[in-house]
């Protein structure tokens, strides 16, 4: 920029700033990023667009991880679905696939997420309630009955017992005649965020890290198209983190996984291409766009400069996005249709690779067929009718977006350096650092809503007290638990129990050693050992994590 142009611009900004200060003096206090009234080249001083931004598909991938992005191929459209039994969930999957969904996203029930069978005393009342019950290979077979696994990408939100569910998926594919090399999909497999955000852990962190490491190694050799981990930034944000904390805490967890894999002798260029991510798409459109652009750039630099990754796919931040469920409201639930639309728009403008959109009734109950299809239609209309896929990174060069991108990258990196100084993510979790930071942010956000310094339409402003009638919701089938237990007992009576006992004994011995556990888990699964039996066998060696940290 010429000096005379800079002087003129600065003078104009001073006059403009004086004018707007009166206008914004009465505005509600912001509890998000401080936003200037207007952005100019002065906010990106020295900014060389061609040099710093580069092109899509080129390091550091600020503008996207693929050269053609949506002009070449749209993102994978998913709906997070799973409830009751495998049969009922299978029917929902077929409905969504017929409606144009291009990938499956499996929700497991709570007992499955913590490695319990449906007949466990601790499972009572929870079977099939917040996801589908998967007790054994028999359930996984039913879940994907009539669905060709060579033609669909499947994401499974499973962490503590992720290795077991992956083994079941591999076994189902084998029965379909689909080779492991053909399988595409993701297991979440991010255990560290469970200790700080969700709570569906089983084993203490260090043996859990071993299981993750084993899946990295096994998949890099045997299931090369599979994403061995989906690092859960989403759950960190939904548990109360800010968008900067969402980046930083998830990245610190991922750094711990990478360091563990390298320490075990794996090469970063071999396993890192299998690392994928799940992020939130929140309500502030420009913050969300800047967040993803900053995250891609920061991650590429970490992988190249810190870990020496040379393969482009090992440097890429490949992201699945789920629109934020925590910001949806039970009040005036149809307002959520609008919220979800611009959340999805933010994700699309950010250049993500896969997306699931919330249904408008998720603040009340499991989505109905109607609301689930509408959530999918939201993505389809954005993709085909909005015009936003016509060009790549359409907001690039916006003074506001570029300044926000730089700011988020810097602040996230400062958090990462602080966690590094504590000894890394595991040490920071042990000290309760990330948990405390997230809790503080969550409390401040809720307080801002209660003070009405943040407006939530239908909740603290424009409240409608009129009775609108009962919202149609999907009702829980209270008989599902007993039906699933009956199915489990029938399967146990028909399997070869001697073979199950033998495979579990072999698995236990492997746990006591240092071998990769995946082949042993797959063999146990093929013998129809249950999820609870396999996880119970591993607990005998690894122990079980307690919330007081006694098993760290």
pLDDT digits over 286-299, tens only?
A: 999 999 999 999 99
Q: What mean pLDDT do residues 39-43 have?
A: 64
Q: How far apart are CA 113 and CA 379, in angstroms?
A: 28
Q: How far apart are CA 521 and CA 95, in angstroms?
A: 32
Q: Which residue has the tokens 């005649």?
A: 177
Three-state DSSP at 474 gives coil
Confidence of residue 313 (pLDDT cuts 50, 70, 90): very high
Assess contact for 111 and 119: CB atoms under 8 A: no
Higher per-residue confidence, 394 vs 11 = 394
Dihedral pair phi/psi, residue 238, rounded to 5°: -65, -25
Higher per-residue confidence, 154 vs 549 = 154
Assess contact for 118 and 135: CB atoms under 8 A: yes
Angle at CA of residue 260, ends 254 and 264, nearest 5°:
145
Instruction: Say how many CA atoms lie within 13 Å of 498 toward its Cβ.
Output: 0
Query: Looking at residue 55, what is its pLDDT?
Result: 84
Assess contact for 282 and 238: CB atoms under 8 A: no
Q: How far is CA 428 from the centre of its chain?
A: 21
Sequence-distant (≥ 6) Cβ neighbours of residue 365 within 8 angstroms: 473, 474, 475
Higher per-residue confidence, 36 vs 356 = 356
Dihedral pair phi/psi, residue 84, rounded to 5°: 60, -125
Strand order in the sheet with 319-323: 76-78, 354-356, 319-323, 275-281, 229-232
Find out if CATH 3.40.350.10 is the number for domain 62-134+143-451. no
Instruction: Say how many CA atoms lie within 13 Å of 246 toward its Cβ.
Output: 28
Q: In which element (H, E) is residue 342 found?
A: helix 335-350
Assess contact for 109 and 402: CB atoms under 8 A: no
Instruction: Judge whether residue 50 has pLDDT over 80.
Output: no
Query: Looking at residue 526, what is its pLDDT?
Result: 98
Using CB atoms within 10 Å of the CB of residue 363, give its burial: 0 to 12 exposed, 13 to 18 middle, 19+ buried: middle
457 strand-pairing partners = 461
Whole-number CA gyration radius for the chain: 24
Q: How far apart are CA 234 and CA 205, in angstroms?
A: 20
Query: Looking at residue 10, what is its pLDDT?
Result: 72
Q: How far apart are CA 281 and CA 461, in angstroms?
A: 23
pLDDT digits (tens, 9 = 90+) for 452-489: 999 999 999 999 876 445 667 777 677 899 999 999 99
Beta strands at 229-232 and 354-356: parallel, antiparallel or unpaired: unpaired
Q: Which two tokens stand for residue 156?
A: 């499974």
Three-state DSSP at 35 gives coil
Sequence-distant (≥ 6) Cβ neighbours of residue 325 within 8 angstroms: 238, 358, 362, 363
Instruction: Judge whether residue 49 has pLDDT over 80.
Output: no
Closest CA relative to residue 147, chosen from 92, 83, 219, 109 = 92
Instruction: Judge whether residue 29 has pLDDT over 70.
Output: no
Query: Looking at residue 40, what is its pLDDT?
Result: 61
pLDDT digits (tens, 9 = 90+) for 201-251: 999 988 999 999 999 999 999 999 999 999 999 999 999 999 999 999 999
Q: In which element (H, E) is residue 215 found?
A: helix 205-222
Instruction: Judge whether residue 191 has pLDDT over 90.
Output: yes
pLDDT digits (tens, 9 = 90+) for 107-156: 999 999 999 999 999 999 999 998 999 999 999 999 999 999 999 999 99
Dihedral pair phi/psi, residue 156, rounded to 5°: -120, 120
Q: How far apart are CA 57 and CA 227, in angstroms?
A: 19
Dmax of the chain from CA atoms? 86
Confidence of residue 551 (pLDDT cuts 50, 70, 90): low
Higher per-residue confidence, 13 vs 141 = 141
Q: How far apart are CA 121 and CA 336, in angstroms?
A: 37
Query: Looking at residue 412, what is its pLDDT?
Result: 98
Q: What mean pLDDT do residues 540-548 have?
A: 90
Query: Looking at residue 495, what is its pLDDT?
Result: 97
Spans of all domains in the chain:
62-134+143-451
Instruction: Judge whether residue 52 has pLDDT over 80.
Output: no
Closest CA relative to residue 552, chosen from 430, 439, 460, 462 = 430
Query: Looking at residue 540, what is its pLDDT?
Result: 97
Sequence-distant (≥ 6) Cβ neighbours of residue 461 within 8 angstroms: 452, 455
Q: In which element (H, E) is residue 279 found?
A: strand 275-281
Q: How far apart are CA 550 and CA 552, in angstroms?
A: 6
Q: Which two tokens stand for residue 408?
A: 């988020």
Measured CA distances, 100 to 20, 52, 58, 78, 103 (Å) = 47, 38, 31, 9, 9
Q: Which two tokens stand for residue 333?
A: 């639930």
Closest CA relative to residue 132, chosen from 76, 68, 80 = 80
Among left, alpha and beta (phi > 0; psi -120 to 50; other), residue 252 is alpha
Assess contact for 391 and 351: CB atoms under 8 A: no
pLDDT digits (tens, 9 = 90+) for 494-526: 999 999 999 999 999 999 999 999 999 999 999
Query: Looking at residue 446, what is its pLDDT?
Result: 94
Beta strands at 76-78 and 153-157: parallel, antiparallel or unpaired: unpaired
Q: What mean pLDDT do residues 88-105 have?
A: 94
Closest CA relative to residue 213, chosen from 429, 420, 514, 505 = 514
Query: Looking at residue 504, what is its pLDDT?
Result: 98
């Amino acid at each position: 920029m010429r000096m005379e142009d800079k002087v003129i611009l600065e003078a104009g900004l001073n006059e403009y700033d004086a004018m707007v200060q009166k206008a914004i003096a009465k505005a509600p206090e912001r509890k998000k990023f401080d936003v200037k009234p207007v952005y100019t080249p002065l906010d990106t001083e020295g900014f060389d667009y061609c040099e710093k931004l580069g092109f899509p598909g080129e390091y550091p991938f600020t503008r996207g991880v693929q050269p053609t992005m949506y002009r070449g191929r749209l993102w994978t459209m998913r709906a997070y679905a799973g409830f009751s039994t495998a049969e009922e969930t299978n029917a929902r999957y077929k409905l969504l696939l017929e409606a144009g969904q291009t990938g499956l996203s499996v929700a497991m029930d709570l007992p499955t997420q913590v490695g319990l069978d449906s007949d466990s005393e601790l499972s009572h009342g929870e079977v099939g309630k917040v996801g589908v019950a998967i007790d054994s290979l028999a359930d996984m077979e039913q879940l994907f009955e009539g669905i060709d696994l060579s033609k669909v990408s499947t994401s499974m939100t499973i962490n503590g017992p992720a290795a077991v569910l992956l083994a079941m998926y591999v076994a189902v594919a084998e029965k379909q005649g689909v080779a492991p090399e053909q399988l595409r999909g993701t297991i979440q497999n991010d255990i560290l965020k469970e200790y700080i955000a969700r709570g569906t852990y089983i084993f203490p962190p260090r043996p859990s890290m071993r299981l993750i490491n084993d899946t990295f190694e096994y998949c890099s050799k045997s299931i090369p198209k599979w994403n061995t981990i989906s690092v859960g930034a989403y759950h960190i944000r939904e548990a109360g983190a800010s968008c900067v904390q969402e980046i930083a805490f998830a990245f610190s967890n991922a750094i711990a996984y990478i360091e563990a894999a390298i320490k075990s002798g794996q090469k970063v260029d071999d396993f890192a291409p299998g690392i994928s991510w799940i992020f939130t798409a929140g309500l502030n459109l420009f913050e969300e766009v800047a967040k993803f652009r900053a995250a891609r750039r920061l991650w590429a630099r970490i992988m190249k400069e810190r870990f020496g990754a040379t393969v482009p796919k090992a440097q890429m931040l490949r992201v699945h996005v789920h629109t934020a469920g925590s910001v949806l409201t039970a009040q005036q639930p149809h307002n959520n249709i609008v919220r979800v639309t611009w959340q999805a728009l933010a994700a699309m403008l950010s250049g993500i690779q896969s997306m699931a959109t919330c249904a408008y009734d998720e603040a009340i109950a499991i989505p109905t067929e109607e609301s689930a299809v509408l959530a999918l239609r939201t993505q389809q209309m954005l993709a085909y009718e909005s015009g936003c896929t016509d060009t790549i990174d359409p907001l690039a060069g916006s003074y506001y977006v570029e300044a926000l991108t730089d700011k988020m990258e810097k602040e996230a990196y400062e958090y990462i350096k602080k966690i590094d100084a504590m000894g890394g993510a595991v040490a920071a979790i042990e000290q309760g650092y990330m948990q405390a930071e997230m809790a503080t942010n969550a409390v401040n956000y809720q307080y801002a809503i209660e003070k009405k310094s943040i407006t939530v339409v239908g909740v603290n402003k424009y409240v409608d007290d009129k009775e609108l009638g009962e919202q149609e919701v999907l009702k829980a089938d209270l008989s599902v638990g007993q039906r699933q237990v009956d199915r489990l007992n029938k399967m146990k009576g028909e399997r070869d129990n001697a073979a199950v006992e033998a495979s579990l004994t072999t698995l236990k011995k492997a746990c006591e050693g240092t071998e990769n556990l995946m082949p042993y888990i797959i063999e146990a699964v093929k013998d129809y050992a249950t999820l609870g039996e396999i996880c119970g066998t591993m607990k005998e060696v690894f122990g079980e994590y307690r919330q007081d940290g006694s098993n760290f």
